[in-house]
Structure 1
Amino acid sequence: MIPPEVHRQLRQAHAEGNYQPLLQLIPYAGLIGIECKRDGDDLLFSLPASKHNIGNPLLPAIHGGVIAGFMELSAALYLMIFSESATVPKIIDFSIDYLRAGHFRDTHARCQLWRQGRRVTNVAITAWQGSEQEPIATARAHFKIEELPVPLK
């Protein structure tokens, strides 16, 4: 059962397109600087360029673990927002393919729900920097969900 205050906060965030209060509930999101905004009926996740996220100072390039963490957390937040869940879904499996170097630039991600079962969901995540047609990484994530998601109205 979703606590009424969290349910109200999720609906308000979705209606206003302001997900910052939800992101503040997750310390890692604040640590790496994840942002989220509405993009039509979808969500667009962003990771602004930050010197704290650099793994290779010679290129400079974003650390691969930061890219993976950004994509995994984006998928979890995507499910949390669209299912009105009061908790972050539990990760079962995460598989990432690095396609290009993640240079010191803003990075964006978009999620797509591939399969939704009663207890497990499968989400695809694509991350890019310059053009969405040239991803720097793609990933697949399986999450355990506690209750059947109900779409926001």
Structure 2
Amino acid sequence: MTALMDTLPYARFLGLRGEMEGDLLTVVMPFADRLIGDPMLPALHGGSTAALLEMTAIAQVALVYPRLRLPRPINVTVSYLRSGRPQDVRARARISRAGRRVAHVLAEAWQDDAAQPIASLTANFLLAEDN
């Protein structure tokens, strides 16, 4: 997964890295000051959180379907559930349904406790075979 993250410029900017535990992928976004969106709280910028979730979903689909080109988002919905504090964020995704052309993916990001996510994503991705 590190090789995949290295091919995505914004993933490199965010410093994303993948951690595999068996077949379970967790993507980590290490905290950096440039990720702060509201310095008064301070809170993470929603765009970086959304990017983490989307790239986690892409990585999960790429892991399950390795012969396909990177999945392309059709639609993405992000729900912000609580403020992200200035610390590392972790995310996991699962494919809830996949057909021949489209995969429906759910992802959640959390900080201290996976049972208390800071944001969630629901997305559909176009699956295309590599030619």
For the criterion TM > 0.5, the same-fold answer is: yes
**Rg: which structure is higher?**
1
Pairwise TM-score range, normalised by the shorter structure: over 0.9
Name the SS for the 2:70 alignment partner: coil
Q: Which structure would you say has the larger RCO, counting Cα contacts within 8 Å and 6 or more residues apart?
A: 2
How far apart in 2 are the matches of 1:114 and 1:86? 18
Q: Which has the higher helix share?
A: 1
1:72-87 residue pairs with structure 2 within 5 A? 72-85=54-67, 87=69
Q: TM-score scaled to structure 2, two decimals? A: 0.94
1:61 correspondence with 2:47: no
Cα RMSD over matched residues?
1.4
- Unaligned runs of 5+ residues in structure 2 are none
State the shift of 1:86 in Å: 5.2
Task: Return structure 1 stretches of 4+ with deviation > 6 angstroms.
Answer: none
- Unaligned runs of 5+ residues in structure 1 are 1-18, 149-153
Name the SS for the 2:105 alignment partner: strand
Q: Which has the higher strand share?
A: 2
Do the aligned residues in 2 keep the contact of 1:32 with 1:52 (CA within 8 Å)?
Answer: no
Correspondence for 1:139: 121
Q: TM-score scaled to structure 1, two decimals? A: 0.81
Q: How many residues align?
A: 130
Q: 1:113 aligns with which of 69, 84, 95?
A: 95
